[in-house]
Amino acid sequence: MKNHNPSDGVEVFGEAAVQDLTSELQSHLDGLNNDQLEEETIALRREMDALSTRFSLNVAEVERRGIPQATHRLSATGWLARFCLLTRNEATGTVKAARALNHMPLVRAKALTGEIPYRSVRFLAHARDRHPVEFVDQERMFTDTAAHLSPGELWRVINAWEQRIDYEQSLDDVRALDRLRSFSISPIGNGLYDLRGTLTTEAAHVVSTAIEALVNPANIDAADNRTPAQMRHDALVDTCHFFLDHNSDTATSGGEKPHITVTVPYETLSGGSRELGELDGNPVDPELIRKWACDAGIVRIVTDGDSQPLDIGRRVRTATSGIRRAVEFRDGGCVWPGCDAPASWCDVHHIVHWADGGETSADNSELLCRRHHTDTHDGKPRPED
């Protein structure tokens, strides 16, 4: 097989593109009026879909000639993953679409002009594979429909068609999807974690509704400079916080509510040291630990120089449910001027920190939403009422 250079291929804007494609493209765009820019963008999208269909047909021919197996001892899917840098999922879908296109002449004709989005082509290939006999009679209908509907709308049409053909199979398919649900959190280094999961339709609606309620613009401070992704991250954490803070039936471990263990020098907790704390082997901002300590119990563990426990003391501070109820009743929500976050979104903050000698009482406590709780521990001044 010939080695291909990424720069090989069709010239986009002539020789100048090889030297400075970005400059040439910007110059081209600057010369378009709004109508021309809109028309060209739509045309480019159709060209991309048409090229994707051509690519699939090439893949079908590559597989028909046996090139992956004979030359590289690979399947067509493996060949795509290796030489075209597709993910296994993308490669599998491309191979299935490639095989089906040669049996869908009407779909293929419109897909080659970009009239049918390539994502829709893959949906139609899936439908044809599942019901090849029935699909033949409906290909013209699907071809015309796919040219006017979005891929998502077409998928719903296909689902309804499949239910009419074989309801029991459709029901089994829906139930099979439930077994694919998953969720995992894995460390990726540098104190960060990767969250991955596959949600069922019901779960996706539940999670999305909960998170969107917290990131709704009506509930966000206009001065909030977090990105939407950061807001969703914080909303997920807030939702879990709410469950742990308000569920008296939470499963216990060793007689205690679920807890995390943070290793921190006492001097750091009291503000007398700049040494970082540690959580799961990762460094933790001292002010974040001081914020956690506002609304958490603390257990003293004295260790020697080799981190061997010498003495484990009793829990020496805890925010009781009675104190929280009293503070919630008094404050009603976050006390930061201009913030209307409800009490359920808030932590109980020690006005005089416990590590500085402040007592755990309603008089020495106030409600702060998590954003303004963090701002307080970061030393940010509160605006004037």
pTM of the full structure: 0.54
Q: Please state, in angstroms and rounded to a whole number, the distance separating the CA atoms of residues 320 and 245.
A: 11
Q: What is the DSSP string of 133-155?
A: HHHHHHHHHHHHHHTTS-HHHHH
Angle between helices 167-178 and 151-165 (to 10 degrees): 120
Q: What is the DSSP string of 189-256?
A: ETTEEEEEEE--HHHHHHHHHHHHHHH-GGGS-TT----HHHHHHHHHHHHHHHHHHH-TT---BTTB
* Cβ neighbours, 10 Å, residue 368: 27
| Three-state DSSP state, 34 | helix
374-382 LR contacts (CB < 8 Å, sep 24+): 374/287, 374/288, 374/291, 375/336, 376/291, 376/349, 377/287, 377/288, 377/290, 377/291, 378/287, 382/336, 382/337
Listed residue (223, 204, 232) closest to 338, CA to CA: 223
CA distances from 318 to 70, 241, 284, 343 (A): 70, 16, 22, 19
pLDDT recorded at residue 297: 57
pLDDT recorded at residue 302: 45
Q: Please state, in angstroms and rounded to a whole number, the distance separating the CA atoms of residues 341 and 347.
A: 11
Q: Please state, in angstroms and rounded to a whole number, the distance separating the CA atoms of residues 295 and 244.
A: 12
Burial pattern 61-93, b for ≥16 Cβ within 10 A else e, equals ebbeeeebeeeeebebbbbbbeeeebeeeebbb
Structure tokens at 247: 């569920």
pLDDT in tens, the chain (385 residues): 555 444 444 444 445 445 567 888 888 999 999 999 999 999 999 999 999 999 999 999 999 999 999 999 999 999 999 999 999 889 999 999 999 999 999 999 999 999 999 999 999 999 999 999 999 999 999 999 999 999 999 999 998 999 999 988 888 887 787 889 999 988 888 788 999 999 888 888 889 888 888 887 766 676 778 888 998 998 898 888 777 767 665 554 434 454 555 566 666 666 666 666 666 556 667 666 666 666 555 554 445 455 444 433 434 445 566 677 788 888 988 998 888 888 878 888 888 876 677 777 888 889 998 888 888 888 888 887 5
pLDDT recorded at residue 360: 75
Listed residue (116, 79, 87, 89) closest to 101, CA to CA: 116
pLDDT recorded at residue 63: 96
Asked if 187 contacts 193 with a C-beta cutoff of 8 angstroms, the reply is: yes
Q: Please state, in angstroms and rounded to a whole number, the distance separating the CA atoms of residues 355 and 268.
A: 10
pLDDT recorded at residue 39: 96
Query: What amino acid occupies position 60?
Result: A
* Cβ neighbours, 10 Å, residue 240: 10
pLDDT recorded at residue 143: 97
Query: What amino acid occupies position 89?
Result: N
Asked if 161 contacts 127 with a C-beta cutoff of 8 angstroms, the reply is: yes
Residue 273, C-beta contacts closer than 8 angstroms, at least 6 positions apart? 265, 267, 286
CA distances from 63 to 100, 104, 233, 258 (A): 13, 18, 44, 55
Chain centroid, CA 177 distance in Å: 20
pLDDT recorded at residue 43: 95
Q: Please state, in angstroms and rounded to a whole number, the distance separating the CA atoms of residues 213 and 51.
A: 41
Residue 271, C-beta contacts closer than 8 angstroms, at least 6 positions apart? 286, 290, 353, 355, 356
